[in-house]
Every structure is written in structure tokens, then in C-alpha cells.
Amino acid sequence: MTLRKVLVIGSGPIVIGQAAEFDYAGTQACKALREEGVTSILVNSNPATIMTDEGIADVVYVEPLTVPVVERVIARERPDGLLPTLGGQTGLNLAVALADAGVLEKYGVRLLGTPLETIKKAEDRELFKQLLIQLGEPVPASRTCYSVEEARAFRAEHDLPLVIRPGYTLGGTGGGIATTDEEFEQIVRRGLEFSPIHQVLVEQSVAGWKELEYEVMRDAADTCITICNMENIDPMGVHTGDSIVVAPSQTLSDREHQMLRSAAIRIIRALGIEGGCNIQFALDPASMQYFVIEVNPRVSRSSALASKATGYPIARVAAKIAVGRRLDEITNAVTGKTTAAFEPTLDYCVVKIPRFPFDKFPSGDRTLGTQMKATGEVMAIERSFPAALQKAVRSLEIGGRSLLWEDKLWGEDEHALADAVRKPSDRRLWALMAALRHDWSVDRVHELSKVDRWFLNQMAAIIRMERRLLNEPLTPQLMWRAKRLGFSDAQIATLTDLALPDRVRRQRQEWGIRPVYKVVDTCAAEFEAQTPYFYSTYEEENEAPPLPGPKAAVIGSGPIRIGQGIEFDYCSVHSAWALQRAGWRAIMVNSNPETVSTDFDTSSRLYFEPLDDEGVRDVLENEGVDETPAVCQFGGQTAINLAGPIEAGGGRIIGSGVEAIDLAEDRERFDDFLNNLGIPRPAGGAVTTVEQALVVADRIGYPVLVRPSYVLGGRAMEIVHDASELIRYVTNAVELSSKRPILIDKYLEGKEVEVDAVCDGQDVVIPGVMEHIERAGVHSGDSTAIYPGVSLAEWEVDTIVEYTVKIGRALGVRGLMNVQYVLYDEGVYVLEVNPRSSRTVPFLSKVTGVPMVQLATNVMLGTTLREQGYTTGLCKRQRLVAVKAPVFSMAKLVGVDTALGPEMKSTGEVMGINGRLVPALAKALMAAHAMLPRRGRLLVSIADRDKPEVISLIKRLALLGYEFWATPGTAALISSLEVGGRRLAAQRASKVGGDGGAPTVLDVIHGHLVDGVVNTVTGGRKVLQDGFEIRRAAVERGLPCFTSLDTLRALVESLEGGESGWDVRPLPEYLEVDGRAAAVRR
């Protein structure tokens, strides 16, 4: 049967473990299906994706990824096939659920790529083990245990260490590796207790072995190839997603490599996969013994990395295979001549380093283990390992921290250093370097860390160069050698007496020391490559002569982190496309391997480089500074921060000037600016001392909002209620951001509204206004946002539009601008202006139909908005309501409080869209897994100041048939309401066992006695330990936890709305209005 129509399931919101790589995979796959003449139907709940854009899939549904919704899509579209392997674990799980619910059979939809049986086998550890044993592949011995006795019996037959993994806990909480019998008993007990099904998997530990991954492909003709192998520098015990990874493997002999490669091929054959698959192995560092650890029968984060590391587009090829193509019928997009049936070979070294969110969550547990914690990653390509490693570190964008960084403690306390070397954490790389710098032998560092000596020896080479730079006069030869080892100008400046990076740069250019650029071509130069995919190195031959004709460089957004997510990649990609549409060549610079922007066919030329001064300026100089203006508006704070240095270095920025950027970020100048325009903002000021802080706070009155200047994502921002809290904040937080002042604002607890606008210096087009459900004080990135502003009064909208137009014109914005407002006490106040693209641009573009990035890019190229058919004002409203809801990854981040506040915590977003508000809300909540059942039970624990407000909500919930568990104070309140339903008072967690054995809050949560949790905190940072534990417990159990009554209200409304009234439609069907008909308002 030939396939005409195929349903593709996306991966939904960005969460830890499932990030932008699936947008990359899905986008490639949809394009590939189109090439094959197959109609693609796409469902994804994530609006911030390229795959859900016009022109990628044939029909797009931005709808919740649930069985009922997808069933409705299937009923309407009647696809012949379903491609479940591109949407990560979400896609696979949903496909299984659809199959199990009989939906696929009912509508005659064939599952493509990976057989259902295989998906199930790969997911169920027990079945998987049996299959591998059948194949004769070695697996670590393990047993699923339901009691301490069972675990002991297993222990009796096996040597320690053993890994204990509790079943069905989301954060892997309660698990661990036991090295003594005491530990074993203790961890097993704890694990059983934490597991809701009282189950632990006890497994032979191979912590410390080499961990390797193989990316394998197979077609229906049974041709099997391996695309890439990757070696984890952090040995077994650290999740591959959290490990520093190198490709190809470095410490394996051909014999070892072929042994694992052959095993990988046997496994993919046995699983009958038609497409791609990732296989993880553990290899004994001292014998040929290996174990199969895991198989992912789908494209994955690793396959995205492998694609970028080799140039081989795995997802594209997998999609073609799934619809029946054979590998030798697919052309190799890189050479344009050879076919996809070959194995890439690399002539460079690739290093991936994960990006962790601990800079945002200082209280989070930084130790790394078998659960992933990284939000994103960077990749670097170079011709030696030290150079690739150092380039990757530069790409991380962690405050200019090079490998020279050391924790102060390490120098003072040898035990602290030994600990940091032994215990995997996000800082271990620096600890390894520090130990070597302090003259610890490679053997000693190896014994402690189990990191292979090869990597340590390579790091030692970096340290030897550090010493030479410190001690020897800088000569051209020494500079050349240092650059070949990946030393940045900034590092050389620190280590030599040139002191300033710019002086190093000038010196090396005088000496003619410049990077050259080489091509990633899948074949180590054996064939001529068509791909414009480059990386820098210090060598002789440059393969990247400047591109001819008009061109511009789009500065990307680097690794995905909280506060700077996939949205900025979305914007970068659209900007590149807009440039090309306008007849310009788009040059992309980025360091993130997961993204669409670093797909080599997104731009005219891709430079895979760190987004720092040096990396970007080198690229611009290679292309010709005068001929290559830079576009810095779309890559989030990363790109905007580079605007200054680029200009200072003689480069040219197109779009809003550096002046506008500085003005918007300089507190005092911006205050003056708004004053002159007659636009109010919350009172406040910038301070540098405690005394000043107290004076300002006294003047404006508490509560106040405090933060260090120059941050994205609200880092270290707090609402402070009194002088003592303020003193604590200022004394603790000043250190956080060195000499920069602290900003203090009057906290206005009003409704937050956000707009994005495109300006050309004259006209200001506002595609839409978004209002937040949660009041100001919850970071805009964590708020549920509604388009259009359904509850806003006309005068409020008018004022917002008026202010936005004024600001855009006065700032001289050329391109995008984002403004956040708070409506408070009959006033409209500006919270913040960002003269750049924002997190909401993809969402707003999608629901208004206004191609904002394209407009903005054209403006930069000199085409006015009028010429593009737009005029000043708010675009005509679409007759739809769209709700953007945040999604969190808290289960993975042990020790982090989930309560919403001015610091951003979410990792992703989903969208619910409908003709009316309530169903749109319901869809958004469903898509975010924050929906509650029609009736059920809630655990409620409310701070005193919120109690009056919660009453009506409790009543409405009771009417719906909800029952409540509550902490004593809240329980008393609920009793007094005399609403129907049972009311049970649970103990505070802190009073375990008190009061006649009534269940504790934690019992209630762990015992699955409730469907959700409502818990509000009183303002301020003083974490109520009880509340914290309640929230964490809810997260561990996967229960929706509401910390804002505004969100709860929205939930109640959607519950009251019931399931009727919402429909499932392709996105374009909701968009009826041509956005261009802008109603000029002033």
C-alpha cells in the first residue's frame, strides 16, 4: 500500500530531557515527507516550534497531545499512517496509547517506523532484558523487587555496588547506588517507600565503566548503517544527557568499536525498526566485556547531536525510510551525489557539554546521576580535543567562565577538591582541571573520577599551555600553539600581560593568526560537499571564502536555558528565511546542536561557533566586516549582548541601534525617557548600598520588587515585604552580580499585560495584546497568557497601544520590541521594554497570522512597514482565543521550589486555541498536564493573606463535586463554609504522627488520595518548609500543583465549562481575519 497521508506527532512542550531536538527532527521529517509526495498532518501542542509553522507540514494542529484529541484529528483527516518516532518519548507513548485504545485499528492507521511490539519492549525494562538475553546480548543482572527481602535475596547473589531505582517516581527520587550493605538496605527501604507502587529495580552497577552511544539506521530491505558513535567523558552513572560527550569515541580501539557497532546492528535488526535508533552501551575499561543499557527506538537528543556532529540528517532519512524508501534510494544531501547508504566519517572532534539550570536554581541539588537535569547543550567542533573542549566551554555562556575558573574552596581545602572530582556535578569539569593544575597526577584524578586517562591527559595539555602562557614571553609561535589548543583571546589575556582580550586580538591579527573555517561534510573530504556548514580551527587552508552578494549574519541564541528557550531559535530561523526571501544570503552563527537554526539547510551558510565576542567577530571578519551586517535581535539576550561588542569592533548592526538597547537597559536613563514621554512606571530606583536601598524602599513603600540589573529570566528577583527582608536580600544578592546596581521597584500587584510590536522608526504595528492570568509578580514567562486581552477595558487597550507606539517611535526601534505592562489602580505602568524579539513572538505570530519576524527583518533591510502593507496601530483581532500555558520540569530538579514568583522557572509552553475563552483555557491546561478531573479531591493549603480570596473558589469546586483535604488553618476555613463534600483535616508534615495518627500531608500526597494540590505561599523568600515539602511531594507524584489562585480560578472556570464546546481544528481555520488591515488607533 502506498502512503498518501501521514500523521506526525510532535513532542509537545520543552521539558528537561525533551527539548528543541524534536522540533529539528519534526521539521526535517515533514519536509522529507513533502519531498516524497506524502501529505503530512502534524499535531503538536507547542506553538514555539518551526514544525508548526506554515509551509512545513501540510496540515497543522496545535492541540493537546492526548488520545481523545488525536482521535478527533484522525477521524477528521483519515491518515493512512502514523509516524510516532519523531516526537520523543511523548510521541511514542501517545502512539502506544492510541493503539491500545483501538483508535489506530478503528481508522485503519498503520504505525510506521517502529513496530508497536518494539516500542513496548524498549519501554518495559523487564521485557527489554528478556529480549536482549534471547539475542545473546549481555545485560546487567537485575531484579524488580517489591520488598526488602526480595532485594536482599538478589543482593545475596550479586556483588556490590548495586543501583536501586524506585519504580514510577518522576525525579528518580529515593534511588541511588549502594556500595555497602548498610547503604543497600537503607536505599532499598527508602526507594520502596518513595515508589507509589512499592517497587524498586535492583541492578548490578557498572558505574565507572565507559558509556557509549551508537546511532543506527535500518531500512525495510534490512540494510543497516551506523551514523555515529559517541563516548561519554563522564563514565556510567551520569545520564548521557548530563554527560560531556565526545564524538567519535576516542579511547576505543577498532576492535572494541566494531564489537559494539556489530551489537548495535544486531539489536536494530532484532527490533525490526525501520528508521533510526539509539543504543547505549557500558564497556568495561579493562576488558572486552560490555552491557547493553538502553535502546531508544526513535530519534532522540542523541540523534540530533549525531546529525549535527556528522552532517548526516538522521530524522530526514528516518522519515523517508518510514514511508518506504530504501537507504540507497535517498540522496546524501551533503554531497548531492552519493546516497544515504553509507557511514559518515569525521575529520574533526566534537564535544558536547550540557547546560544546567543551577545558575537559576542555586538551591537545586547539583549532583548528577541517572536522571537528567540539563535544559540544553552546546556543541563545538575542532580538530583537536582540547580545542573542541575549550570552544564548547566558551559556548556555554556562563558568565565568561573559562576552564581557568576554580571554586575558591578547592584551593584551600584538598578534601573539597577531592569531593568535587569524585562526585559528578555540573562543576566537575572545572574540578578535574583544578586538580591537574594543583599538580595532582592523572592517575590520582582518574582513580577518583573514573574519567578515562586519555581525556585527563588532554586536559593536562591545556594546563601545560596555561603555564607557558604565564611564564614565557608571548611569541607568534606560542600564540599559534595556544590558539590550536583552543585558548580564547580572553584566556590568553588573563594569562599573559596583554591583559585585555582586544589587545590579544590585535596582537594576533598583527601576527597574521586568524582562524580558518572547514566544512562538515560527512566524508572527511573524500567527496566534494555541497553543504555550507563550517567550523573554525587554526590551520592552513580556509574553505570559506566570503559569500558574494548582499548578506547578513543572524546571531543565534545558544544553548537552551530557562528564560532563553526555543522561541529565540524560532525567531532566528525565521529571520534567516526572511533574509533569503528578500534576496539576501543568511549566515547563521550558533552553538546549539539541538535546533532548527543549526540545520545546514536553514541558512545560506552555517557557522557552528561560540556566541561570544571572539567567535562572532571572527566570523564577521571572515565574511568581511563591512559587507556583513549582524542581526542581533532574534537570538535573545545572547545576541543583544553581542551588539555592543560587534559595533565596538568595527562591525555593523542592522535593526535597532546599540543606543536603543542601552537606553532600555539603563535604569535611570530609561526612567527619564519614559518621563519625557509622560508614561508612568512603578516608582523605584537603582541602588548600590544597603542604606540607599532602605531609603528608596521607604520612599516608595513596601512591598517592593528587587533585582540585580541586567538579567534575563528574572534571576534572583524577589518581592520583598519589609526592611529586614530587604537588608538580607541586598547583603546576599549584591555578590551575585558584582558591581552592578540593584534595582528596587514598587511592587504593583495588578494585571500584567504584554505586547510585541514591529517598528520601522515611523510606524509601529502591534499584532496583538496578551493579558496574563496570574497577576504581576509571577514572571511573564511562567504566566498563562491570553490572546486577545479578553478582560481588558477599551481604554486600557487604547492606552497600551498609545504607549507602545510612543515608545517604539521614541526609542527608534527598527525591528521587534516587547513591552510588559501592569494595570494597577486605574493606571497603566510600563514594567519593561525589550528592544528585541521575545518569548511570545512565535505564539503571537501564530495566533494573529502576522509574520512578525519577517516584517522585522525586512524593516532592517530597509523596507518600511507601509511598503509591507502594515500601518501603525493594533492589528484587527482574530475571532479566536488562544491561551499560552507554561510547562515546568520540576520533577527533575530536586531541591527546587515550584512556587511561582518573579523568577522564571518554566522550561516550555503549550497553547490552547478555540473560538471562546473557556475551552481554550481547558485545552491549554490539558496540554500542560495541569487539568484536573471533572470531580475529584484536592489538597488545599492556603496562606492567610489569600484566604479571603480562596473562599469563592472552594465553593465553586465543591459545587462541582470536589472534596478537600486541608492543613488545619485551611481546614477550619473550609469547615466554616458549609459547602458540601467531605472535609478531612490532615496534619502538617512537620507534626508526623501527632494527633491520633491522622494522615500527614505527605501521606495524602504519596497515598494518591488527591488529584491535585493547591498551595500558596505568603510573599517573600522565606520558604515555608512545610509548603515546600508539599509542593515537592506533589511534583514527585506528578500531581498538578497550583501556587497561584489566579491559575486555580482559570482551572475552575474550565471545569465548569465542561468538555463540550471545544473543537479540534487545523490552526489556519481559526485565523479568519487578515491581520494586515491594521486599525490605526492614534
Ligand X SMILES: Nc1ncnc2c1ncn2[C@@H]1O[C@H](COP(=O)(O)OP(=O)(O)O)[C@@H](O)[C@H]1O
Binding site for Mg ion (CB under 5 A): 294, 780, 820, 832
Per CB under 8 A, 526 contacts another protein: yes
Q: Which of 326, 721, 876, 955 contacts another protein by CB under 8 A?
A: 326
Its sign, for the CA torsion 515, 517, 520, 523, is negative
Q: Which of 25, 349, 350, 492 contacts another protein by CB under 8 A?
A: 349
For ligand X, give the closer residue by CB, 779 or 1065. 779
Sequence-distant (6+) residues with CB within 8 A of 413 are none
Per CB under 6 A, 213 contacts ligand X: no
CB of 451 to another protein, least distance (A): 10
Nearest Cα to 853, choosing from 642, 581, 1069?
Answer: 581
For ligand X, give the closer residue by CB, 386 or 777. 777
Stretch that binds another protein, among 146-154, 455-463, 584-592, 853-861 (CB under 8 A): 455-463
For another protein, give the closer residue by CB, 453 or 652. 453
Q: Which of 705, 932, 1005, 1064 contacts ligand X by CB under 6 A?
A: 705
C-alpha to C-alpha distance for 736 and 752, rounded to whole angstroms: 27
Per CB under 6 A, 760 contacts ligand X: no
Amino acid at 468: R
User: Which of another protein, ligand X, Mg ion, none does residue 762 bind (CB under 5 to 8 Å by kind)?
Assistant: none
Task: Extract the C-alpha cell encoding 454.
Answer: 586519555
C-alpha to C-alpha distance for 317 and 381, rounded to whole angstroms: 23
DSSP 778: S
CB of 453 to another protein, least distance (A): 4
DSSP string, 173-229: TT-EEE-SHHHHHHHHHHHHHHSTT--EEEEE--TTSEEEEEEEEE-TT--EEEEEE
Q: Which of 13, 344, 357, 651 contacts another protein by CB under 8 A?
A: 344
CA atoms within 13 A on the CB side of 245: 31
Per CB under 6 A, 748 contacts ligand X: yes
Q: Which of 335, 595, 820, 1015 contacts ligand X by CB under 6 A?
A: 820
Q: Which of 39, 93, 186, 384 contacts another protein by CB under 8 A?
A: 384
Stretch that binds another protein, among 169-177, 341-349, 868-876, 1070-1078 (CB under 8 A): 341-349
Nearest Cα to 365, choosing from 895, 1025, 1023?
Answer: 895
CB of 835 to ligand X, least distance (A): 13
Per CB under 6 A, 109 contacts ligand X: no
Angle among Cα 512, 617, 383 to the nearest 5 degrees reads 65
101-140 footprint of another protein as x/- string (CB under 8 A):
----------------------------------------
User: Which of Mg ion, another protein, ligand X, none does residue 238 bind (CB under 5 to 8 Å by kind)?
Assistant: ligand X
Per CB under 8 A, 539 contacts another protein: yes
Stretch that binds another protein, among 279-287, 585-593, 739-747, 968-976 (CB under 8 A): 279-287
Which 822-841 positions form the footprint of ligand X (CB under 6 A)? 822, 831-832
CB of 989 to another protein, least distance (A): 50
What is the spatial order of strands in the sheet that 162-166 belongs to? 142-145, 200-204, 162-166, 176-178
What is the spatial order of strands in the sheet that 718-720 belongs to? 684-687, 742-746, 704-708, 718-720
C-alpha to C-alpha distance for 958 and 953, rounded to whole angstroms: 8
Q: Which of 125, 158, 269, 383 contacts another protein by CB under 8 A?
A: 383
Residue pointed to by grid coordinates 463535586: 961
Per DSSP, the three-state class of 579 is helix
Q: Could you tell me which residues are beta bridge partners of residue 873?
A: 765
Per-residue b or e along 195-226, where b marks 16 or more CB atoms closer than 10 Å to that residue's CB: bbeebbbbbbbbbbbbbbbbbbbbbeeeebbb
For ligand X, give the closer residue by CB, 362 or 1061. 362
Residue nearest to Mg ion (CB): 294
C-alpha to C-alpha distance for 350 and 363, rounded to whole angstroms: 32
Element (DSSP H or E) covering residue 834: strand 827-834
C-alpha to C-alpha distance for 801 and 302, rounded to whole angstroms: 45
Q: Could you tell me which residues are beta bridge partners of residue 351?
A: 246, 380
Residue pointed to by grid coordinates 509542593: 1031
CB of 237 to another protein, least distance (A): 19
For another protein, give the closer residue by CB, 180 or 477. 477
Q: Which of 33, 65, 207, 318 contacts ligand X by CB under 6 A?
A: 207
Element (DSSP H or E) covering residue 745: strand 742-746
Per CB under 6 A, 902 contacts ligand X: yes
Which 655-684 positions form the footprint of ligand X (CB under 6 A)? 682
Stretch that binds another protein, among 64-72, 451-459, 639-647, 882-890 (CB under 8 A): 451-459
Q: How far is CA 854 from CA 53, 375, 641, 938, in A?
A: 13, 28, 22, 46
Q: Which of 75, 409, 500, 524 contacts another protein by CB under 8 A?
A: 524
Residues that bind ligand X (CB under 6 A): 140, 163, 203-207, 211, 236-240, 280, 293-294, 370, 682, 705, 712-714, 745-748, 752, 776-780, 820, 822, 831-832, 902
Q: List residues near another protein by CB under 8 A.
A: 221-225, 248-255, 257-258, 261-262, 265, 285-287, 326-328, 337-339, 341-349, 383-385, 452-454, 457-458, 460-461, 518, 523-528, 539-541, 543
